[in-house]
Structure 1
Amino acid sequence: MNAMTAMRQYQTVNTQAQAVDASPHRLIQMLMDGGLTRIAQARGAMERGQVALKGELIGKAIGIIGGLREGLDLQKGGELAANLDSLYQYMATRLLQANVKNEIAPLEEVAGLLREVKTGWDAISQ
Structure 2
Amino acid sequence: MQKPFEAYQQNAVLTASPGELTLMLYNGCLKFLNHAKKAVQDKNIEAKHTNLSKAQNIISELIVTLNFDYPISKDMRKLYDYMNRRLVEANIKNDIAIISEVEGLITEFRDTWKEALIIYRKKQYSSSGLV
TM-score using structure 2 length: 0.84
Q: Cα–Cα, structure 1 residues 50 and 121, in superposed 2: closer, same or farther, change >3 Å?
A: same
Task: Give structure 1 regions of 4+ aligned residues with deviation exceeding 6 angstroms.
Answer: none
Aligned partner of 1:17 in structure 2 is 11
Alignment equivalent of 1:110, drawn from 102, 106, 124: 102
Q: Deviations over 1:78-126 (max 9, x none)?
A: 1x10111000000001111000011101100000001011111111123
- AA partner of residue 123 (structure 1): E
Separation (CA, whole Å) in 2 of partners of 1:34 and 1:111 = 11
How big is the alpha-carbon RMSD for the aligned residues of Structure 1 and Structure 2? 1.5
Aligned partner of 2:70 in structure 1 is 77
Aligned partner of 1:3 in structure 2 is none
Asked if residue 54 in structure 1 is aligned to residue 48 in structure 2, the reply is yes
Number of residue pairs the alignment of both structures matches = 117
User: Is the radius of gyration larger for structure 1 or structure 2?
Assistant: 2
- Partner of 1:77, secondary structure, is coil
Aligned partner of 1:99 in structure 2 is 91
Aligned partner of 1:65 in structure 2 is 59
Separation (CA, whole Å) in 2 of partners of 1:23 and 1:123 = 15
- Partner of 2:82, secondary structure, is helix
Separation (CA, whole Å) in 2 of partners of 1:30 and 1:12 = 15
Separation (CA, whole Å) in 2 of partners of 1:12 and 1:107 = 28
- AA partner of residue 98 (structure 2): P
State the identity %: 31
Q: Cα–Cα, structure 1 residues 120 and 45, in superposed 2: closer, same or farther, change >3 Å?
A: same
- AA partner of residue 15 (structure 1): Q
Give the superposition deviation at 1:10. Answer: 5.3
